[in-house]
Amino acid sequence: MYFLQKLLNLKGDDGFRMNEVLVSLWYIMGLWPLANSMLLFLTGRSSKSKVPFWPFFLLSCFDGAYALLPYFILWNPPAPPIEETELKSWPLIFLESKVTAEIGYSKVDILCSESGK
């Protein structure tokens, strides 16, 4: 209880100095709801589903990021716009080829066999 009173500045200067890193982290924790609200506002505007974000935001102020998990499960993000020319560009063709898959598989196979030694 003493440390909580010191963090909330309820105790006067009694000669004990709190760890400054701990005090800084305590004060920064107030910025997390602000960051979450900015992200949730953008996802709520771009969503096709009618799940409101404000109840999850209010819960996240008290329960933290655990209250946001149901929102992100229910949230249906829109698909990004892709043009036909992007689908036929060489990086996508190379990355989706069977040769690239074989190279990746062989590297993983080698790494797994070497880690077992």
pLDDT digits (tens, 9 = 90+) for 34-83: 787 777 777 766 666 677 888 888 888 787 778 888 888 887 777 778 88
Taking CB atoms within 8 Å and a gap of at least 24, the contacts of 37-46 are: 40/68, 40/71, 43/75, 43/77, 46/77, 46/78
Q: Dig out the tokens for 100 from the structure.
A: 């690239």
Q: Which pTM was predicted?
A: 0.46
pLDDT band at 98 (very low <50, low <70, confident <90, very high): very high
Q: What is the pLDDT of residue 45?
A: 65
- Report yes or no: 74 and 42 within 8 Å, Cβ to Cβ: no
Question: Burial code of 41-65, b = ≥16 C-beta within 10 A, e = fewer?
Answer: eeebeebeeebebeebbeebeeeee
- Report yes or no: 58 and 33 within 8 Å, Cβ to Cβ: no
Dist. CA 54–CA 74, nearest whole Å:
14
Q: What is the pLDDT of residue 47?
A: 63
Is the pLDDT score of 110 beyond 80?
yes
For Cα atoms 97, 92, 89, give the angle at the middle one, nearest 5 degrees.
120
